[in-house]
Amino acid sequence: MARLARLKFSMTLSILLVSCIFAVFLGVIMFILRLPIVWALVATLLFLLLQYLISPFIVKGSTHLRYLKPGENPWLEAMVKDLAQKGGVPLPRLAIVPEDTPNAFIFGRTSGDATLALHEGLLRRLNKDEVQAVVGHELGHIKHRDYLVMTMLSALPLLAFWISWGTFRAARWSNISSRNKKEGGLKSAFFIVAIISYIIYIVTLLCIMGLSRLREHFADAYSAYLTGQPKQLQSALAKITYGLSLSPKPTTGARTFYIGDPVRAKQECKDIIKRKDVYDLDRDGVLDERELQLAMEREAKSTWMTINSWFSTHPTTFRRIQLLQEIENEMSTGRYSSNRIYADI
């Protein structure tokens, strides 16, 4: 598991980088507005604490999930328990989201109180082996504790955005008269703060998105090891991507935590659908899983797709499938073991 150090290092580096950027940002803002920096530090700490405390309630409210009662789904409960014991992770609470889209996610404040939420659409569209592979992926997030890091880090770009929005509104709609030099200077300061805040929002968001994409690869590799069936996660990801691309509903606040990002899925499938005739190899009018996988492989090689992926919380589906194929090939040689779970990342 030596390569797991890369994820831990990336998490630590991201935390330090984002924190340093944000600290400098707060110092500059307070200097421009001529306010004590201690106010900004206290406000930021309070905002992070608030994010930590209320984020589970936000996720619950935005997804309308319900918790499973003991014995309600014996197969699912037994399967999750077996995988959790095998992986040595705390058993999460199980919840069902009344959504037809195929998706799943983990959230919570600590590993001990984590919730594993599965969409009804996931349970209907995927077979049991594929559902097991998805569960293995989500347990990987508990194993790596990355969803806790993402919960806290995601608060900083959000705070920068709100500062930008608030100061821009204050500058634009205030009744300050520019004829008064002092008051006009304050209005200009608000505009400068708004611009700087938005730049910090973009920079910190890109840093966090990069970490988010990396953690998905690690969770995929963990699922392959835990279930011993990387091929099942490959087919699950193809089904999830296609299913999400057809959803007319907007994404919710749990987007970062999903196994599949609805926005990413729509982007991936948009151009594929436009060139459906090229990718429909058997000319039956429908893109099956294999045809969709080959299409995603070709689209993923485009420069536009590569640049576009920088602004995504998830890697392209093909990149994820490609990693799983490499793991599957290694498993077939008999050399794959607990020491090489993350070797292909």
Q: How far is CA 123 from CA 85, 247, 294, 320, in A?
A: 22, 16, 25, 21
Identify which of 17, 24, 16 has the alpha carbon closest to the alpha carbon of residue 40: 24
- The H-assigned helical ranges of the chain are 4-33, 37-63, 74-87, 120-125, 128-144, 146-153, 155-173, 181-227, 230-245, 262-274, 276-279, 289-300, 303-309, 317-333
Question: How big is the chain by its Cα radius of gyration, in Å?
Answer: 22
Which of 130, 138, 216, 268 is catalytic? The answer is 138
Question: What does the block give as tokens for 265?
Answer: 């899925």
Query: What does 225-253 look like in DSSP terms, one character per residue?
Result: HHHS-HHHHHHHHHHHHHHHHT--SPP-T
Burial code of 240-266, b = ≥16 C-beta within 10 A, e = fewer? bbbbbbebeeebbebbbbbbbbbbbbb
CB 96 within 8 A of CB 118: yes
Contacts of 196 (CB under 8 A, 6+ apart): 25, 28, 29, 32
Token pair 């905002």 in the structure block, residue? 47
Write the single-letter amino acid at 104.
A
Produce one character per residue of 207-232: b if its CB has 16 or more CB atoms within 10 Å, e if not.
Answer: bbbebbbbbbbbbbbbbbbbbebbbb
Q: Is 138 among the residues known to form the active site?
A: yes
Q: Count of residues for the chain?
A: 345
b/e for 28-38, b at 16 or more Cβ within 10 A? bbbebeeeeee
Tokens at residue 131, please?
């559902």
The CA–CA distances, whole Å, from 259 to 12, 183, 191, 256 equal 23, 50, 39, 8
What are the residue numbers of the active site?
138
